[in-house]
Amino acid sequence: MSFRKPKNRKEICYPFIYESALTCDYEIHTDELCSLVGMALATLPEGFDDVREDLETLHPKIYHLNGSVRGKTAIFEEDLEWLHARYDYYNELSRGRINRFVLPRGPVGVMALHQCRTGSKKTVRLLHRLDESGVTFEPELPRFANLLANFFFVLTVYIKMKLDVEEVEFVSLSY
């Protein structure tokens, strides 16, 4: 079978879906990450207004991250400064809670944030692959994506602490 671009626009889910470039894969992935943030918002436990407000601020920034490779850069130093401040806020509130490697567990809202965390790591990897392939973009993008992964992790720690959910240590047999 020959895989061809359909003539009917209703049969095309994304304008760039038939590109062979990694740019399309990056855009589809960051679209998924944006959906995962929406899932995290939908499953966030009650009583976490600070987290909800931050996720609502962050949510559109994921689509800005999405479009910043093919289009104009829409992630700026100010976005990094904001995310650093929010990371520091939750990290300080949960200081001392984690001092080892833990298994990704918890209530549904926490697990949605773990999916966001791993999705952010995939974003970093795709940005690295794009860079290797010669695609140019601003250095704020991988910095933001890396920080995003760490931010989502610290949110899981904070929420589990507030819900009194125990962290389960993971001891590797490999390292």
Q: Which domain holds residue 143?
A: 21-93+103-162
Check whether 170 has a pLDDT greater than 80: yes
In a domain, 174, yes or no: no
Cβ atoms of 62 and 108 within 8 Å: the answer is: no
| CA pair distance 170, 104, nearest whole angstrom | 9
In a domain, 7, yes or no: no
In a domain, 167, yes or no: no
pLDDT at position 33: 98
pLDDT one-digit tens code per residue, 35-77: 999 999 999 999 999 999 999 999 999 999 999 999 999 999 9
Phi, psi of 138 (to 5 degrees): -70, 145
- Taking residues 87-99, report their average pLDDT: 91
Q: Closest Cα partner for 156 from 30, 56, 45, 29?
A: 45
In a domain, 2, yes or no: no
pTM of the model: 0.92
- Number of domains the chain contains: 1
In a domain, 130, yes or no: yes
pLDDT one-digit tens code per residue, 109-125: 999 999 999 999 999 99
In a domain, 74, yes or no: yes
Check whether 13 has a pLDDT greater than 60: no
- CATH number of the domain at 76, please: 1.20.1200.10
In a domain, 34, yes or no: yes
Show Cβ contacts of residue 77 under 8 Å, excluding neighbours closer than 6 positions. 140
